[in-house]
Structure 1
Amino acid sequence: MLQNNVKPHYSQPERKLFREIIDRYLPYWPLFLLLVTLCIVGAAVYLRYAIPVYESTATLLIKDEKKGLDDSKVLESLNLFGSKKIVENEIEIIRSRTLAKEVVRNLHLYAPVKEEGRFVDRSAYVKSPIIIEAPVPDSMKEANKVYFSYDPVKKLVQINGKVYLVNRWVVTDYGRLKFKPNPLYEAPKEPRQLYFSLLNVKFVANGLLNNLKVSPASKLATVIDLSIRDEIPRRAEDILNELMDSYNRAAINDKNELAKNTLNFVDERLSKVMQELDTAESRIQNYKTEQGIVDMSEQGKQFLENVGLNDQKVSEMNVQLAVLDQVEKYVNSKDNKAGIVPSTLGVNDPSLSTMLDKLYESEIEYERLRKTTAENNPILVSLNNEIEKIKPNIRELIGNQRKNLLAGLNNLNTTSNKYSSVLRTMPQKERELLVISRQQSIKNNIYTFLLQKKEETMLSYSSTVSDSRLIDHGESTLLPVSPKTKLIYLGAILLAIAMGIGIVALRQGLNHTIDLRSDIEAVTTVPIIGELVADNTKSEIVVADGRRNYVAEQFRQLRTSLGYLGINNRKKKIAVTSSVAGEGKSFVSANLAISLALTGKKVVVLELDLRKPKISSVFEVTHEFGMTNYLIGDKEPDEIIRRTAVNPNLFIIPSGPIPPNPSELILNGKIQEMLDYLDRIFDVIILDTSPVSPVTDAYILSEFCDATLYVVRHGVTPRNYIEQLDENNKVRVLKNLAIVFNGVPIRGLGKNGYGYGYVHAYGHGGRKNGKSNGKSTITDKAVRIYHKVFSGGKD
C-alpha cells in the first residue's frame, strides 16, 4: 500500500528543480516570444540610431633616472632637477582638472559644432568648415544651438542674418568670438544644417575626465596607459595628444621654477658686486693720478697675488654662508611656495643637496595634487608628513655646514692678518695702493664666480627636458567599441526573459490557486498518484476502446497506479472527491470507470453527490429514481442499477431526486448494505461524492471505502484547501488518500508533450491512431530528449 508520506522519486534534485522551472514558465512561451520579439526590435532600432563610439589609446613613459646635461658637474651644484616620479601621483596629475581645462581651451572643445539629424545630432568635429574661439573661454557667455552657414568662397560666416569675417575677432550676439578655418575639415557627402554651442569650460572638462582612463601599464614599470572614448576617432586622438603635451609643458615649467629663482639670486648679487667693483676700480685710478704712481713694485705685485688667492677663498665662503642663510630662511618660512626652493650655489655638501632635492620633489607634488584633490587625501597627507620630516634634517645639515665654513673662514682671516703685517713694512704710497687694489681684486673674483654660475644656470634653463617621454601617440580603433551589437541583442533577450519571468511571477504571486505539481508537494505530504492534462474537447468522456490520446493514456496509467493504493479483488471501493465544485471530480470518476471497464472488470459508479449530481448526465442516464429512492426505502438495489451505453461492463446508480437532507440520508445505515450487495456483484465500486469543503458527505462515505482519490485542478483548486489536508488531519479521515492532478496545461510549443514527466505521442503530431506517419520532427526529438533526461523515460 502506498503510504501518505511517499513522494515521487527523483534520482537527481537538480533535474527536478530544472524541470519545475520549465513547468512553471513554459506554458507562457507566447508571452516570452512576444517580449523577446519586441525587445529585439527595440534593440535593432537603438542600434540603427545609436552613435558609434571609438576608443583611442596612448602610452607615456615616466623616466626614473637622470639623463642629459643634468648629470654634468657643471649643473650638479645647482641641484635643479629631481627626476624620480611616483607613478600614482603622475596619474593624479594627468587626471587633474587643471590639465583637462587646458586641453578644452587649446582644442576649442568648449565650442563644439554639430550637424543636425532627423533623430540624433552628431558631432561635426571634422565636418565643420570652421572652429570657434573665445578670447576668455572661462568667462564667456554660454549659448545653445547657434545655427550658422559658411560661404567658402567669400569666407563669411552667417548667424541670424548677420555676416562675419573669418580669422578676425568679431562681436556677435553671443560675445566676442573668432571664426577660424578648420584644418581638419572633410567635406561631407550630404551636407546638413550645422550649429555650435558655447559651453562652460569646467563642465566640458568634467565630461572629458569621466571618459578618460589613466592606469599603470604594470606594477613594475613606470609606463602609463591612457585611453578615452569618443564618437569622433580624430578628436579622441587629439585629446590624448594635447593632454600629454600639456602634462609635459607643466612638468617643464615646474622644473624651471628653481632655475628662475637661482637666476634672480645671481643677478641680484651681480648687480651689487658690479657696483662695488666699479667703485674699487675708480679709487685705484684716482689714487694713481693723485700720487703720480704708474705701477707698483715687484714686491707689491707678489704680495697682491698671494693675498688675492686668500681673499678669493674668503669671498667664496661668504657667498656659501649667504646661500645657507637663504636656504635656512626658506626652510623656516611657514608660507613658502612649492617649487621655489633656493639653490645650494657653491655649497659642496651632497647630503644637503639630496635633502633639498627631496624637499623640492615633495613640495612640487604636494602643490600639484592640492589643486585637484581634497586636503584629507591620503597622498596629500603622506606628502605633508614627508615635508615636515625633511625640514629638521635640512636645518641640522645647514648648521653643520655653517660651522665648517666659519672654522675655515677663521683660518683664512688669520692668514689675512699675516699679510696685513707684511703690508705695514712697505712704503706708505705702495701700501695704500695695495689695499685699494686688494679690494678691487676681491670684487673682481666674486664677479667672475657669479658670472660663471649665471651662464651655467642659463644653460640648464635652456636645456630643460621633461621627465616623461611619449611612447605611443593617440591612436583610435578602426571599429567602434560601443555599442556592442552582440551584447545589445543578448541584453535585449535577457531583458525580455527577465520581464517575462517578472510578469509570470507577479501573476502567480497574485494567484492563490494550485498551478504546478510542486505547489502541491510544497504544502502537503499526500502523494500524487496521477496527472491529467487539460483536454480541450467538450466531451466529458475521453476514454474509449481504441482511442489513444494523452488523457486516455493517462487514465490508463492512473488505472495501473491504483494497485499502489491496494485496490484489488478484495479491496475494490474507491471514493472520488475534491475541494470545491468544478475541479473535474465527476470527469475523473466517469473516465476512470470506463478505463477499468475496458479491462473486462465489472464496474459500477455510485452518484453520491446528492446535492449537485452530474455523472448520470455524462453517461446520458436519467436520474428520476436512484440512490435517494433507495436510501428512503422506496427502491431495492437491483432496481436502481443502470447499464451504460458506453461499455457493457460499466454500470451506474444515479442519484435520483435531490433530497433536502443528503447527509442524514447517508448516515441512515443503508449505504453499508448497498455496498455489501454491490461488493458481491461488481469488481470495482466507484463513489462519486460531494466536494469536501462545503459539506461532510465525502468524509462519511470515505469510511466505507478502501481508497480516496482527491481531485486537484490546475488554476481552480485554492491553495489553502490543500494546506488544510495536513493541518486538519483530513489525511487520516479520508482513508488511503491520494491526489489526482487534473487540468495540467501542456508544457511545450506543440502537442507532443507536457512538463510533468509523462511525454508520449498518441494521436497527435507525428502519430495518428497509434501509428507512426514515418516522420520525426524536431519537436518530437526535443520531446523525447526532455522525457529521457528529466522524466527518466525512454525514447
Structure 2
Amino acid sequence: MINRPDQKSTPFVEAFVYRYLPYWPLFAILAIFFTALSVGYLRYATPVYEANATILIKDEKKGAEESSLSESMNVLSSKKIVENEVVVLQSRNLADKIVAGLRLYAPVFESGRFGDRSAYTSSPVVITAFNLDQVRTTPNIPFTYDAAARQVRIGAAAYPLDQLVATPYGSLTFSPNPRYKAGSQGPFYFRLIDPKSVAAGLQKKLDVAPAGKLSSIVRLKYNDEVPQRGEDILNNLIHDYNAASIDYKNSVARNTISFVDERMRIVQRELNAVEKQIQSYKAQKGIVDLSEQGKLYLKNVGEIDQKLAEVNMKMAVLGQVEQYVSAKQRDGSLVPSTLGIDDPLLSGLLEKLYQADLERDRLSRTTAENHPVMQALDEQIDKLRPSILDNIRSQRSGLQASQRDLTTTNSTYNSLLQTIPQKERELLDVSREQSIKNSIYSFLLQKREETAIAVASNIPDSKVVETARASVLPVGPNKPFIIGAGLAFALLLSVAYVAWKEGFSRNLLFRDEIGRYTSVPVVAEIAHVDRLKGKLLSAHDNTRVGEEFRQLRVAAGLFSKSNPKKRILVTSSIAGEGKSLVASNLAVNLSLSGKKVVLLDMDLRNPQASRNFGSPQAMGLAEYLEHEVEPYEIIKGTEYKNLYLVSAGNAESNATELLLNGKLAPLFDYLEEAFDFIIMDAAPVHPTSDAYFLTEWSDLTLYIVRHAYTPKAFVQNLDATNRIKTLNNLAIVFNGVKPRGFGSGSFGYGYGHEMRYGQKEPRRRGLRQLLRKLSFQK
C-alpha cells in the first residue's frame, strides 16, 4: 500500500497483481455491468444457425478415379484438383447465381417488438427484380398482402401477383412464397440491396474446405439467421456448381460435334475425289485387281514355260525316234521311248518296225539274205520307215508351231509383268491417300458417336455425400465468447483506468519516482489517515503513524551521539503538503521520548502549526521580531509534557523582512540552551524564500512531499534548485501515502484505521468512498 517496489526486479505476475489487485472492486463493478450487457445482448440478439453439406470431388490424385469402363465412355470427363474446386465453389459467379436464384437481393423482414427478423419462411410473397443490374439499395419498404385479392399493397398502390409491374423502386414481380409457413401476421417490409454487395457478403460467410490433406471430400459450411435459408444456399450452391460443370461439358461436346461434322464433310469430299482418281486410273490402265492380275500373269508364264518344256521334250523324243528309224543297222537294239508323245499311230508303227527288226535279226542267224522270208521282212521294214519318218516330221512341225506360239505368249506376259511394279507404285500412292482419308473419316465418325454418347450420359464430376442440413441449436452468438469478451473488456477498461490514473498523473504517486527524479534521500513515509487531519498524536500512541514518526527520528539521526541534529527545519514545495502537521507530530513524538522540544511556527503567512495547538492568535514570533519582547515571553506550554510552542503571532510587517531583521540569532541562542530539539515550521519554498533564510540555523531540513498532491516538476528540479539556494542537510519525507485502489489499510504493513498496531482497519463501504477514489479526492 505505502509504495511499490522497484519493477526492474519484480516478476511480471507479482508486479501485475500488486499494481491491479487493489482495484478489484472497480473490476468487479465493471465485470457485473458488462456481463449484464452481454446477457442482455444474448437475450435479444438474433440466433445464427450453421448449415453443413459434403460433396466428393473426383480427384485422380487422391483416389477418386472412375472405373475404366466409365472413363472410356465419358470422353468429356475432366481431371479435377480439390484445391482448385474449393476456389471455384467460393467464386463470385456462383455467389451471383445463388443471390439471383434465391432472391437474396430483396429480403423480406417482419417487424417485432424487440427487433426485426427475417421473414424468409413467414412472408407470403417473394420479390423478383426484372433487371438485377439496375437494382440499387433502398430504405425499408413496408407492404401488406391481401390474400383474397392476391394483391400486394405498397402505400396506396396495389400490385397483382405473378405479373411484372412498374413500382417506384423499379420493375418488380411479386410471387407467392414457395417456402411460406402460415402463422405470421406481420407487419412486413422489404428492401432492395445491390446484388454485388449481397454476393460479397455471402462469399465472406461461406466456408469451403477439404476434409483432410489427402481427402477429396469437401465440406461446405454457412451460418445464417434462418436455418432454411442456410440449407437452400448450400443446396443451390451444389446444384449451380454441378450445373456449371455439366454446362461446360455440354458446351465442349457441342463444339466438338460441330468441329467433327465440319471435318467429316471436308474429309468426305477429299475421299470422293481420291476414289474417283482411283477409278479413272484403273479404267485407263485396264486394272481390275492389280494384285490378282499379277498373280494370274505369273501363273500363265509358269504354265507356258511348262508347255515349252513339254514341247522341247517331245521334239527331243522325236529326234531320237527319227535317228533310230533312219539307222541302217539296228541289230535288234531297243526302240527309243515315246514318253510324252500321245500319237498311237507312231507308237504302232514303231512297234511294228521293232518287231520286224527283231524277226529279221533272229532269221539272219539261220537264213541267208536272199531267202524270200528275209526279203519279205526287208521289204516290210522299208515300207514302215517312210511312214514313221513322215509322221515324225508332221508332229515336229506341229510342235515347232506350238513352240513359237508359246514363246510369243510368254514374251507378252513377261512384258506385262515388267509393267506391274510401276502401276502398283502409282496405284499405291493413290490408295495410300485413300486409306488415310478413310482412317480419318472413320476416326471422326467414331469420335462423333463417342461424344454423342457422352452427352447422353453426361454427369457432374462431383457427388453429393450429404445434402445441406442446418443445426438444431444455434451456434451464435457464442455465449461463452460474448460473456468472456465482456469480462475481458471490463478487465481491459480497469487496467486502462489504473494505467491512466497512475501513469499520466502530474503528481507524485510512488517512492521510486522520487528516487528517479532527485538524489535527495527519503528518510520516512507517513501514511494517510483521514481522521488525523489537523490533529496530533496521543501520549501513548502505538498506531501506525506513531511508529512511522519514530522511524523518522531514527532514520534522520536525531538521537545520534556523534552528529546530533538539534535544529530541524521543516518545509515543502507548496501549501497543502502537510508540513505543519508533520512538524507538529514530530515535535510531539520527540517530546514523548523525554526530550525537551520547542516548535517554532515560522510560517507567518499561514500559521497552521499554531492552529494545530489551538493558539492561532497568541503572541508569538511576529511580536518578538517587531517589538521589544523577550524570548521567554513567546514560549508557551502545551498539553504535552516537554513540548513547547512558539506561535507565529500576528505580523504587521512583511514576513520576509521580519525574518531578516537580525533578531533570530539571539532567539536561537536562547532556545538552544533551553531545549534539546528545535523544530521550525517554515513556509513552502516555492511561494516564498523564507526557508532559505532559515537554513543557516538548521542542522537538518525535512522537505515534505505529499502523495498524489506534490507536482513531479518540483521534485525533478529539486537538485538544480538546491545547488543554487542550498537547504542544509536536505532529506525528504513522503507524506500522506494512501492505500492503492479501493482496499483498506490491509494492503501494506497491516495497520488499520483503528490506529492500533496489528489490527486491521475497518473496511469502508459505500458509493461515496468509491467516487472519492475514482475522482482523486484527497
Alignment TM class, shorter chain as reference: 0.5 to 0.7
Q: Does 1:14 align with 2:7?
A: no
Deviation at 1:136, TM superposition (A): 4.7
C-alpha distance after superposition, 1:376-425 (max 9, x if no partner) = xxxxxxxxxxxxxxxxxxxxxxxxxxxxxxxxxxxxxx999528779xxx
The aligned counterpart of 1:565 is: 556
Give the corresponding residue for 1:651. 644
- Structure 1 position 145 matched with structure 2 position 140: yes
- Residues 220, 591 of structure 1: alpha-carbon distance in 2 compared, 3 angstrom cutoff: same
Q: Which residue of 1 aligns with 2:79?
A: 83
User: Is residue 2:684 matched to residue 1:691?
Assistant: yes
C-alpha distance in structure 2 between counterparts of 1:721 and 1:609, whole Å:
20
- SS of 2:222's equivalent in the other structure is strand
Within a 5 Å distance, the mapping from 1:701-716 to structure 2 comes to 701-716=694-709
- What is the Cα deviation at residue 590 of structure 1? 1.1
> Given the superposition, is the C-alpha separation of residues 9 and 120 from structure 1 closer, same or farther in structure 2, using an over 3 Å criterion?
closer
Provide, for residues 728-761 of structure 1, a one-character-per-residue CA deviation record: whole Å limited to 9, x for no partner: 235993233222223334434354446xx34422
C-alpha spacing 1:153/1:547, structure 2 compared with 1 (3 Å): farther
TM-aligned CA deviation for residue 576 of structure 1:
0.8
Structure 2's unaligned 5+ residue stretches are: 278-286, 296-419, 766-778
CA distance change for structure 1 residues 235 and 416 in 2, over 3 Å: closer, same or farther? farther
Structure 1 residue 724 corresponds to structure 2 residue 717: yes
Distance 2:489 2:724 in 1: 44
Residue 592 (structure 1) shift: 2.0
Letter in 1 for 2:10: E
2:196 corresponds, among 190, 198, 202, to 202
Please give the secondary structure, in 1, of the residue aligned with 2:191.
strand
Alignment deviations for residues 73-121 of structure 1 (CA, whole Å, 9 cap, x no partner): 9559x6x444142x44333322222111111122222222211124532
What SS does the aligned partner of 2:109 have?
A: strand
Q: Distance in 1 between matches of 2:611 and 2:39?
A: 57
Contact 2:569/2:698, CA 8 A, preserved across alignment: yes
Residues 243-274 of structure 1, C-alpha deviation per residue, up to 9 Å, x if partnerless?
Answer: 12222222232233333222113333455677
| Map 1:388-427 → 2, pairs under 5 A | 417-418=423-424
Give the drift of 1:160: 4.3
Partners of 1:225 and 1:515 in 2: how far apart? 59
Q: Could you tell me which of 617, 621, 626 is aligned with 2:620? A: 626
Does the 8 A contact of 2:525 with 2:548 survive in 1? no
The answer to whether the Cα contact below 8 Å between 1:532 and 1:555 also exists between their aligned partners in 2 is no
* Matching residue within 586, 603, 606 for 2:597: 603
Q: Is the 8 A contact 1:146 1:195 kept in 2?
A: yes
The answer (yes or no) to whether the contact 1:571–1:706 under 8 Å persists in 2 is yes
CA contact (8 A) 1:724 1:730 kept: no
1:227 to 221, 231, 234: 221
Cross-structure match for 1:130: 125
- What percent of counterpart residues are identical? 39
* CA 731–468 in structure 1, closer or farther in 2 if over 3 Å, else same: farther
Quickly say closer, same or farther: Cα 1:682–1:473, change in 2 above 3 A. farther
Letter in 1 for 2:553: L
Give the distance between the partners of 2:202 and 2:567, measured in 1 at CA. 84
> Is the contact between residue 750 and residue 759 of structure 2 (CA under 8 Å) also seen in structure 1?
no
Residues 1:50 and 2:41 aligned together = no
Compared with structure 1, are the counterparts of its residues 13 and 491 closer, same or farther at alpha carbon in structure 2 (3 Å cutoff)?
A: same
Compared CA separation, residues 501 and 162, structure 1 to 2 (3 A): same
TM-fit CA distance, 1:623? 5.5
**Equivalent residue for 1:116, pick from 99, 111, 134:** 111
SS class of match (1:658): coil
- 1:676 Cα deviation (Å)? 4.7
Question: For residues 9 and 133 of structure 1, what CA distance do their matches in structure 2 show?
Answer: 71
**For residue 690 of structure 1, what is the amino acid of its counterpart?**
A
Distance 1:144 1:19, change over 3 A: closer
Which residue is equivalent to 2:88?
Answer: 93
Q: Deviations over 1:109-147 (max 9, x none)?
A: 222221112453211112223333345544568755343
Do the aligned residues in 2 keep the contact of 1:530 with 1:554 (CA within 8 Å)?
A: no
Does the 8 Å contact 1:164/1:170 carry over to 2? no
Q: SS where residue 728 of structure 1 aligns?
A: helix
Residues 725 and 277 of structure 1: CA distance in aligned 2, closer, same or farther (over 3 Å): closer
TM-score (norm 1): 0.66
Alpha carbons 1:74, 1:456 under 8 Å: kept? no
Displacement of 1:577 in angstroms is 0.7
2:96 is matched by which residue type in structure 1? K
Structure 1 residues 89 and 416: CA distance shift in structure 2, 3 A: farther
Residue 524 (structure 1) aligned to one of 518, 529, 540: 518
How far is the alpha carbon of 1:630 from its aligned partner?
Answer: 4.7
Gaps of 5+ in 1: 1-6, 284-297, 307-413, 423-434, 780-795
Report the secondary structure of 1:615's partner residue: helix
Preserved contact between residue 536 and residue 581 of structure 2 (Cα < 8 Å) = no
Q: Which residue of 1 aligns with 2:547?
A: 556
Gap change, CA 1:637 and 1:463, over 3 Å in 2: same
State the alpha-carbon separation in 1 of the partners of residues 136 and 717 from structure 2: 76
SS of 1:729 mapped into structure 2? helix
SS in 2 for 1:249: helix
Q: 1:703, CA displacement in angstroms? A: 3.5
Shift of 1:649: 2.3
Match of 2:482 in 1: 488
Query: What SS does structure 2 have at the residue aligned with 1:184?
Result: coil
Q: Is the 8 A contact 2:525 2:734 kept in 1?
A: yes
Task: Report the more deviating stretch, 108-117 or 614-623.
Answer: 614-623
Give the one of 447, 470, 473 matched to 2:464.
Answer: 470
The whole-number CA distance in structure 2 between the counterparts of 1:210 and 1:93 is: 14
Separation in 2 of the partners of 1:238 and 1:662? Answer: 92
Between 1:230-239 and 1:449-458, the stretch displaced more is 449-458
Query: Does the 8 Å CA contact 1:590/1:618 hold for their aligned counterparts?
Result: yes
The structure that has the greater radius of gyration is 2
Q: Which residue of structure 1 lines up, in the alignment, with residue 253 of structure 2?
A: 259
- In 2, the alpha carbon distance for the partners of 1:584 and 1:131 equals 78
Using a 3 Å threshold, how does the CA distance of structure 1 residues 72 and 495 change in structure 2: closer, same or farther?
closer
In the alignment of these two chains, the number of paired residues is 624
1:53 maps to amino acid: V
Could you tell me how far apart the structure 1 residues matched to 2:151 and 2:612 are? Answer: 94
Distance (Å, rounded) in 2 between the aligned partners of 1:509 and 1:649:
45
Shift of 1:640: 2.9
CA distance in 2, matches of 1:712, 1:24: 24
Aligned to 1:324: none
Name the SS for the 1:229 alignment partner.
strand
CA distance in structure 1 between the partners assigned to 2:140 and 2:658 by the alignment: 91
Tell me the distance in 2 between the aligned counterparts of 1:20 and 1:709. Answer: 33
2:733 maps to 1:740: yes
Residues 529 and 558, structure 1, Cα contact 8 Å, conserved in 2: no
